[in-house]
Amino acid sequence: MNAAEARLRIEELRRELERHRALYYREARPEISDTEYDALERELAELEQAFPDGSTEDSPSRVVGDDRTEGFETRRHRAPMQSLDNTYSESELRAFGQRLAKLFGDVPLSYVVEPKIDGVAVSVTYEQGRFVRAVTRGNGIEGDDVTANVRLIPTLPERLAGDDHPDVVEIRGEIYMTLQEFRRLNTARQEAGLEVFRNPRNLAAGTVKLLDTAEASRRRLDVVLYGMGFCSSPIVAAQSGIHDKIREWGLPTVEKFWRVEGIDAVWTAIGELDRMRGGFAYATDGAVVKLDDLAQQREAGSTAKAPRWAIAYKFAAERAETVLRRVTIQVGRTGVLTPVAELDPVQLAGTTVSRATLHNHDEMRRKDIREGDTVLVEKAGEIIPAVVSVNLALRPGESVPYVFPTACPECATSVVQSPGEVAWRCPNPDCPAQVRRRIEHFASKACMDIEGLGEAMVDALVSKGWLRSIADVYRLRREDLLTLGKSVERSTDNLLAAISASRTAELWRFVHGLGIPGIGSTSAKDLARHFRSLAALAGAGEAELLAIPGFGEKTAMAVRAFFNEPANQILIERLVDLGVAPTVPEASAGGGSEAFVGRTFVLTGTLQRFTRDEATARIEAAGGRVSGSVSKKTSFVVAGSDAGSKLDKAQKLGVRVLTEEEFLALWPESPQSS
């Protein structure tokens, strides 16, 4: 490459990197994987070194991203939030060790090795032991104030435990979403025709930046803390001490870190981390290696972008090339069409992968993915395999662009796209694919839990014409079922018994099973708890629905629209006629009273008689609900000793505050005696 070509490529890389950083940090919808981004960044750094032109100081390869977005207050960090140098190679890790060994005159160096959490960087400030603020990294100097959403994280305490804390401390960590929560929310998004998030990190980033706190409160975030950015008084001398302090203060911390001497032991620890990280609650994409001694850290110093005393060793995402034989289209419960890549089976991250999601039509078009292409498939950690790119050199000569169907592949109805949605859907509610999915969902473990009525059985019964709606489940005839195969007597009787038992399933299971858009199991439980009968729920007005904590306009409208729909009214009538009578367990069975049913509690401060988890379990068992933040809809704030800002807020909003004694008095008898 000559100098002119290099200049062009450098310009192009800078523009591309800038665009990818905006997609990753600001919009939480990256188009390329971290590995691809790192490779571009590396290419730029190498070119800049080989062809310097004096403008590299502020080049994108030297700057951190910027996540600041419209609508948030900007706050300055007391100490900058830096990024880390990355490597994928053992030899570069060893070179890092050698640089430090040289600097410190070959004295044995202690390192800490900890997981590199694939989350959203956050700085949380505690003043006088009280949580006051949470700020995103932003541009490293100042970030967005996301206190309102971070406050909702149930594991982040309002107050630090113990009394050994500095006046002001900025604690650094990552916000993440568990895989389970990610799946729950993405399923709902897909059903609602919204673009699904690619991985938990992107969904966590999108959630932290929600301006609608009610919506944020319906998504569960978690946080893990691992560092100290600023501390008003020196309280620890080592990174390992910071981990100890974080734990001592009752803050969520990494499951494991290693304190080791020398780079050989660092390498061994990285191997151990790689073997165990699959069991962590959060996704990890590498190890962070830090000098343990804080005085040594200061001496080693930093470059403009990253400290010299730390490095991130990234685990390579597992990738493989394979041939995409065919694109199939799946039709979901609400008619959403999802393209799926049918692949030549390939070994990836210990499993055989033969299908990968292609997300949606837009995404396929952007990547120009065609049948017959050789594609690169990546499985980053535990995330669903995805097609990363196409190997154009191997594209067959006769290849043609993929044409997304304009008619439903199941029922031939013309597909439609609603404004603002990326998904195309089949608008025919009687589409056999939708019918199958609706019945499967209704019978699933998470809903009515009808054993024996899984995918294959539903398929068979729908194609026989015996099931056209969920109501038909309760009209299945023994003599028909017996014709399905030989020696099916026992399984038929088991299935009929399971169906019969489901008539009195708990109300929330039934409500979840109806498949109302946006109503997952948590909202279904809220509805069941609040209305306590199907009739009351079906007749509820929008205002009453909006009064349920955590219910916003969209959810309330979806519920109302569902019960207003004449076809759904007929369906419910038929179910009731067939003996379906969902039940609600007596609230008082748990030792509770009317004081709890339909009420929202916020716990703050330290309670003497029980831990927060115990108190939460008791309240829920008695029919109440526990929330992490105080609003006008809060029924009671239970204030223990050292209650913090939630108490102030309750007083400001005029929410009733209970002492622990008053709280205990809500039970007819002491909850501890039950």
Residues with catalytic roles: 116
3-state helix, strand, coil in the chain (%, to 5): 40, 20, 40
| Binding flags for ligand IVH, 455-474, as an x/- string (CB under 6 A) | --------------------
The stretch near ligand IVH (CB under 6 A) out of 32-40, 111-119, 191-199, 642-650 is 111-119
Residues near ligand IVH (CB under 6 A), total: 14
Spatial CB neighbours of 614, under 8 Å, sequence gap ≥ 6: none
Q: What part of residues 159-218 is at the interface with ligand IVH (CB under 6 A)? A: 174
- Closest CA relative to residue 305, chosen from 114, 140, 68: 140
Per CB under 6 A, which region of 110-118, 148-156, 375-383, 539-547 contacts ligand IVH?
110-118
Among residues 48 and 174, whose Cβ is nearest to ligand IVH? 174
- State which of residues 24, 131, 182, 226 lies at the interface with ligand IVH (CB under 6 A): 226
Distance CA 636, CA 301 (A): 50
The least distance separating ligand IVH from the CB of residue 271, rounded to whole angstroms, comes to 17
84 binds ligand IVH (CB under 6 A): yes
Q: DSSP state, 575?
A: H
117 binds ligand IVH (CB under 6 A): yes
Query: Shortest gap between Cβ of 127 and ligand IVH (angstroms)?
Result: 22
CB of 175 to ligand IVH, least distance (A): 10
- The amino acid present at 39, given as its one-letter code, is A
Quote the least distance from Cβ 404 to ligand IVH, whole Å. Answer: 37
Which helix or strand (DSSP H or E) is residue 440 part of?
helix 432-443
Residue type, 610: F
- Stretch binding ligand IVH (CB under 6 A), from 26-34, 82-90, 367-375, 581-589: 82-90
Q: Are 551 and 537 in contact (CB under 8 A)?
A: no
Part of the chain binding ligand IVH (CB under 6 A), chosen from 76-84, 188-196, 372-380, 484-492: 76-84
Instruction: For residues 90 and 79, give the distance between their C-alpha atoms in angstroms, rounded to a whole number.
Output: 31
DSSP string, 242-297: HHHHHHHTT--B-S--EEEEHHHHHHHHHHHHHHHGGGSSS-EEEEEEEESBHHHH
The CA distance from 275 to 273, in Å, is 5
Residue 41 as a binder of ligand IVH (CB under 6 A): the answer is no
Q: Judged by CB under 6 A, which of 59, 82, 110, 629 binds ligand IVH?
A: 82
- Distance between CA 97 and CA 315 in Å, rounded? 18
- In the chain, the largest separation of any two C-alpha atoms, in whole Å, equals 86
**Which pair of tokens denotes residue 86?**
């990355």
Rounded least distance, CB 643 to ligand IVH, Å: 32
- For residues 179 and 320, which CB has a smaller minimum distance to ligand IVH in the complex? 179
Cβ proximity to ligand IVH: between 114 and 440 the closer is 114
Phi, psi of 578 (to 5 degrees): -85, 10
Nearer to ligand IVH, 115 or 605 (CB): 115
Q: Name which of 84 and 329 has its Cβ closer to ligand IVH.
A: 84
- Whose Cβ is closer to ligand IVH: residue 84's or residue 630's? 84
Candidates 35, 69, 83, 521: give the one binding ligand IVH (CB under 6 A). 83
Q: Which residue is nearest to ligand IVH (CB)?
A: 121
How far, in Å, CA of 258 to CA of 245, rounded?
Answer: 16
Q: Which residue has the tokens 């959203």?
A: 120
514 makes contact with ligand IVH (CB under 6 A): no
**Identity of the residue, 310 or 457, whose beta carbon is nearer to ligand IVH in the bound complex:** 310
- Is residue 157 within the footprint of ligand IVH (CB under 6 A)? no
Q: Which stretch binds ligand IVH (CB under 6 A): 79-87, 264-272, 380-388, 431-439?
A: 79-87
- Give the span between the Cα atoms of 43 and 37, in whole angstroms: 10
Residue showing tokens 């403008």: 55
Residue 658 sits at φ, ψ, to 5 deg, of -110, 140
Please report how close the Cβ of residue 107 comes to ligand IVH at its closest, in angstroms: 23
Q: Which is nearer to ligand IVH, 216 or 254 (CB)?
A: 254
> Which sign, positive or negative, has the C-alpha torsion 34, 35, 40, 45?
positive
Q: Which is nearer to ligand IVH, 285 or 410 (CB)?
A: 285
Touching ligand IVH, residues 289-318 (CB under 6 A): 307, 310, 312
Q: State how far the Cα of 134 lies from the Cα of 150, in Å rounded to an integer.
A: 7
Identify which of residues 228 and 657 has a Cβ nearer to ligand IVH in the complex: 228
Stretch that binds ligand IVH, among 78-86, 237-245, 632-640, 644-652 (CB under 6 A): 78-86
Q: Which residues 353-382 are close enough to bind ligand IVH by CB under 6 A? A: none
Nearest by Cα to 362 from 502, 494, 534, 193: 193
Please enumerate in sequence order all residues whose Cβ is within 8 A of that of 602, keeping only pairs 6 or more positions apart, or say none: 626, 627, 628, 629, 630, 634, 636, 637, 638, 646, 650
Q: How far is the CB of 131 from ligand IVH (least distance, A)?
A: 20
Judged by CB, which is closer to ligand IVH: 310, or 343? 310
Instruction: Supply the minimum distance, in Å, between the C-beta of residue 44 and ligand IVH.
Output: 17
Stretch of residues binding ligand IVH (CB under 6 A), selected from 112-120, 399-407, 453-461, 581-589: 112-120
The two three-digit tokens of residue 195, written as one number: 């673009």
DSSP notation for 36-84 = HHHHHHHHHHHHHHHS--S-GGGSGGGS------TTS-EEE-SS-----
Q: Kindly report the length of the chain.
A: 674
Smallest distance, Å, CB 172 to ligand IVH? 7
Interface stretch with ligand IVH, choices 109-117, 269-277, 536-544, 626-634 (CB under 6 A): 109-117
Binding residues for ligand IVH restricted to 121-150, rule: CB under 6 A: 121
Q: Which residue has the tokens 């690619």?
A: 198
Strands 656-658 and 636-639: parallel
* Minimal distance, residue 226 CB to ligand IVH, in Å: 4
Kind and range of the H or E run holding 328 = strand 318-331
Q: Which residues bind ligand IVH (CB under 6 A)?
A: 82-84, 114, 116-117, 121, 174, 226-227, 288, 307, 310, 312
